[in-house]
Amino acid sequence: MSDKPKFYLTTPIYYTNGLPHIGHTYSTIVCDTIRRYKRMRGYDVVMTTGTDEHGVNVERSAKKAGVPESEFVAKMAAEWRALWDELGVQGDEFIRTTDLKHAHTVQWLFKQCRDNGFVYPGHYTGQYCIYDNAYVDVKPGENCPDCGRPTETVTEANFYFKLSAFQKPLLDWYAKHPDFIQPEARRNEVLSFVEGGLRDLSITRTSVRWGIPVPGEEPHVFYVWFDALTAYLSAVGGPQYEKTGYWPADLHLVGKEIIRFHAVYWPAFLMAAGLRLPKQVWAHGWLLMDSAKMSKSLGNVVRPRPIVHVLGMDALRYYLLRETVFGQDGNFSYDALVQRYNSDLANGLGNLASRTAAMIDKNSGGKIPKPSALQPQDTALATKAQEAIGEVLEQYDKLGFSLALEEIWSLIAATDKYLTTEHPWSLGESEADQQRRATILWTTAEVLRIATALTHPVLPESTTKVWSLLGQPGQPGSIALDGLRWGQLASGTALGKSQALFPRIEKAEAIERMEAMENEAQKQPSPVTALATPSAPAAGGAATAATPAAAEKIGIEDFAKVEMRVGQIQTAERIVGADKLLKLTVDIGTEIRQICAGIAQYYEPEKLIGRKVAVVVNLAPRKLRGVESNGMIVAATVGPEGRPVLAGFPDEDVEIGARLK
């Protein structure tokens, strides 16, 4: 085990029913910056990120894509992961809530809470939309706000967590740890929420199927937030967290809308289980687009890939951290992004690096020159750089990224000015002039080295190039920031190869290219629809390569796509004007479904009540004679007239909802 101090930080784990936009990217990039910074301060850092893969929304998205949930989430998790790689994000742990080790941790945490007397069984009553499979916040008799169809009053068995018992312990904790919730505005918001009283929280569901089962209590599955928050623990050893030594977390970094889950529910779960609490929860603001929170449902999202493609990943990272004061909301604009790129990166850091290298190349044979007698303007710049080190580290420690970058760029601007006033290019070839030029160029290169080290957590890709351009050994990520001082640049070091850093780009052209890519991407099938495509029959009904012919063999994975469950018929009635159809309601364990079946000529409706049948539950809903059918009852077709005989379970008392495999 390393003897360095440990630092464990987390991003939120992202929902997999959609793809990342730059709002999500923001949470992750901030975390990655902190991770790199802490490493450079000598910490043994672990950063966790991952995907939140359970719940009704995933059920619904997978159904829409026509694939099993497991396949759907695997594909989406891979997309998220790939994007973080492209953005230079170095997560140490990528946790998926469908990982087995995570399920064990959730079940273990629940058991701890239950054994300690903080869990009890109860019931939840609410308005349920059977079409959307979700509770909705309306009164009895009102329609679903999402789809407009009637809701039903449903009472569901749940396990409750005694959150009410934690009001005082939480308030005491906040009082003893004034930095636990940051920034101040969020802390006040949480305090007044908790002071207002806490109601017990339902932490299991029986109306949802796609979740981690509660052992011995099936069909209960865990409520998504009880499940998701626990990911922070499962990533670092779960029940064996003591062995890894990373718990408690030092920092949970989250968006402001999920502060309550992290600063109230999560510490309460941990207290109930007898575990230590994270040291800090930091809530950042939102990236807004046209003054609204960027979100898929509003259709105002900006994706990171076009930006990375046109301007590079460092440009996006720089813009996100420089433009918005951390903790506050910030507006995204392509215009400001390209503006920052050109002024700060191309004309600022990029230009300083390339002109310094070019001058050293020309005047001192590509080797860092040796400084001699210093003049006050050299010392003034040296003092500014030395002070910048202290101030930048202080800002990084406070997560004041924009101020830290402002400080570094003020040093770059001062160096540009220094070059202009000292104009080494107009010095002659006399001994004195050569010495003076060597001093100026060494001073400039030394500022560049310091600025590179300080900027590395934000600009990992380009600072690595500048570092090797300056002929420095190793990677900038392995610099110990605590030992960074003015004057350490060794004379005589040979410069490395010059590499393109931030080529200037015309604003209108850059924006046009990014927007064109964004539009193109929107036309491409998303991974969700791409998943659905192979099984969709070709127009006109002809069999295609993707639709196996009757005699063709299929793999087990194809069979696994069909989800069949034991259902019990609750009601059955004839449909006026459709003499072959019966309208049934069928309990499939997690919900009641309306299903139409073409059995009316052979089965009396009243004799079907209570009968257990095999139901295909993951068929896309469709209308039969104007009546919605959400599933299919399995039957054999017998005799020349094709008489349906229902598949059933006459000899065994099978559980409703059991899966047929």
Quick check: 255 binds ligand MSP (CB under 6 A)?
Answer: yes
If 0-12 CB within 10 Å is exposed, 13-18 middle and 19+ buried, where does residue 517 land? Answer: middle
Give 27 or 568: the residue with its C-beta nearer to ligand MSP. 27
Measured at the alpha carbon of residue 534, what is the angle toward residues 528 and 535, in degrees to the nearest 5? Answer: 100
Give 493 or 526: the residue with its C-beta nearer to ligand MSP. 526
Q: Which of 221, 228, 405, 588 binds ligand MSP (CB under 6 A)?
A: 228
Piece of the chain touching ligand MSP by CB under 6 A; list 9-17, 271-279, 590-598, 625-633: 9-17
End-to-end CA, the chain: 46
Alpha carbon distance 522, 84 (integer Å)? 20
Give the footprint of ligand MSP on residues 578-597 (CB under 6 A).
none
Strand locations in 361-506, DSSP E?
A: none
Name the minimum Å distance from CB 332 to ligand MSP: 8
Piece of the chain touching ligand MSP by CB under 6 A; list 11-19, 173-181, 432-440, 496-504: 11-19
Quick check: 294 binds ligand MSP (CB under 6 A)?
Answer: yes
Q: CB-based contacts of 263: which residues, under 8 Å, 6+ apart?
A: 180, 181, 186, 190, 281
Name the minimum Å distance from CB 186 to ligand MSP: 12
Please say whether the beta carbons of 658 and 588 come within 8 A. no
Quick check: 57 binds ligand MSP (CB under 6 A)?
Answer: no
- Token couple for 178: 């004034």
Name the minimum Å distance from CB 25 to ligand MSP: 8
Q: Which of 257, 394, 482, 506 binds ligand MSP (CB under 6 A)?
A: 257
Quick check: 368 binds ligand MSP (CB under 6 A)?
Answer: no
Name the minimum Å distance from CB 619 to ligand MSP: 28
Quick check: 13 binds ligand MSP (CB under 6 A)?
Answer: yes
Q: Which of 8, 24, 134, 364 binds ligand MSP (CB under 6 A)?
A: 24
Beta bridge partners of 283: 254
If 0-12 CB within 10 Å is exposed, 13-18 middle and 19+ buried, where does residue 141 land? Answer: exposed
- Give the CB-side neighbour count of residue 301, counting CA atoms within 13 A: 19
CA 438 to chain centre: 49
Q: Measuring CA to CA, which residue among 270, 268, 282 is closest to residue 241?
A: 270
User: How many other β-carbons are positioned within 10 Å of the β-carbon of residue 410?
Assistant: 13
Q: Which of 144, 254, 392, 451 binds ligand MSP (CB under 6 A)?
A: 254
Hey, what's the torsion of the CAs at 324, 328, 329, 335, to 10 degrees? -10
Q: Measuring CA to CA, which residue among 586, 577, 594, 575 is closest to residue 646?
A: 586
Quick check: 181 binds ligand MSP (CB under 6 A)?
Answer: no
Q: What are phi and psi of 459, to 5 degrees?
A: -115, 70
Piece of the chain touching ligand MSP by CB under 6 A; list 78-86, 158-166, 226-234, 603-611: 226-234
Name the minimum Å distance from CB 243 to ligand MSP: 23
DSSP label of 23: H
Name the minimum Å distance from CB 20 to ligand MSP: 8
- Helix, strand or coil for residue 228? helix
Q: Which of 9, 27, 67, 337 binds ligand MSP (CB under 6 A)?
A: 27
Q: Which of 111, 293, 355, 370 binds ligand MSP (CB under 6 A)?
A: 293
Q: Measuring CA to CA, which residue among 98, 92, 88, 89 is closest to residue 15?
A: 98
Q: Which of 106, 163, 221, 229 binds ligand MSP (CB under 6 A)?
A: 229
Over the window 495 to 514, marking each residue x when it contacts ligand MSP by CB under 6 A and - when it does not, the resulting string is --------------------
Piece of the chain touching ligand MSP by CB under 6 A; list 77-85, 198-206, 243-251, 253-261: 253-261
Q: Measuring CA to CA, which residue among 186, 179, 173, 177 is closest to residue 254?
A: 186
Please say whether the beta carbons of 658 and 568 come within 8 A. no
Quick check: 286 binds ligand MSP (CB under 6 A)?
Answer: yes
Quick check: 26 binds ligand MSP (CB under 6 A)?
Answer: yes
Name the minimum Å distance from CB 12 to ligand MSP: 4
C-alpha R_g of the chain: 31
Piece of the chain touching ligand MSP by CB under 6 A; list 24-32, 113-121, 345-353, 534-542: 24-32
Alpha carbon distance 594, 130 (integer Å)? 9
Number of residues interacting with ligand MSP: please give it, by CB under 6 A. Answer: 20
Piece of the chain touching ligand MSP by CB under 6 A; list 119-127, 227-235, 337-345, 509-517: 227-235
- Token couple for 138: 């309306």
Alpha carbon distance 643, 661 (integer Å)? 25
Quick check: 80 binds ligand MSP (CB under 6 A)?
Answer: no
Q: What are phi and psi of 32, to 5 degrees?
A: -65, -35
Alpha carbon distance 98, 74 (integer Å)? 9
DSSP output for 236-255: TTGGGHHHHT-PSPSEEEEE
Q: Measuring CA to CA, which residue among 590, 578, 589 is closest to residue 629?
A: 578
Quick check: 389 binds ligand MSP (CB under 6 A)?
Answer: no
Name the minimum Å distance from CB 56 to ligand MSP: 13
Piece of the chain touching ligand MSP by CB under 6 A; list 252-260, 410-418, 603-611, 614-622: 252-260
Give 343 or 522: the residue with its C-beta nearer to ligand MSP. 522
Name the minimum Å distance from CB 37 to ligand MSP: 19
Q: Which of 30, 34, 38, 52 binds ligand MSP (CB under 6 A)?
A: 52
Strand locations in 258-376, DSSP E?
A: 281-284, 287-289, 292-293, 330-331
Name the minimum Å distance from CB 320 to ligand MSP: 9
Q: Which helix (H) or strand (E) holds 104?
A: helix 100-115
Give 14 or 247: the residue with its C-beta nearer to ligand MSP. 14
Please say whether the beta carbons of 499 and 469 come within 8 A. yes
| Number of continuous H segments (helices) and E segments (strands) in the chain | 23, 26
Piece of the chain touching ligand MSP by CB under 6 A; list 228-236, 305-313, 393-401, 602-610: 228-236
- Token couple for 508: 């209108």
Over the window 444 to 483, marking each residue x when it contacts ligand MSP by CB under 6 A and - when it does not, the resulting string is ----------------------------------------
Q: Fill in the amino acid letter for 582.
A: L
Alpha carbon distance 30, 521 (integer Å)? 26
Name the minimum Å distance from CB 141 to ligand MSP: 32
Quick check: 154 binds ligand MSP (CB under 6 A)?
Answer: no
Residue nearest ligand MSP, CB atom distance: 255
- Helix, strand or coil for residue 216? coil
Q: Which of 7, 8, 14, 467 binds ligand MSP (CB under 6 A)?
A: 14
Piece of the chain touching ligand MSP by CB under 6 A; list 7-15, 565-573, 601-609, 650-658: 7-15
Piece of the chain touching ligand MSP by CB under 6 A; list 286-294, 506-514, 551-559, 599-607: 286-294
Q: Which of 7, 8, 9, 12 binds ligand MSP (CB under 6 A)?
A: 12
Q: Applying CB under 6 A, which residues contact ligand MSP?
A: 12-15, 23-24, 26-27, 52, 228-229, 231, 254-255, 257-258, 286-287, 293-294
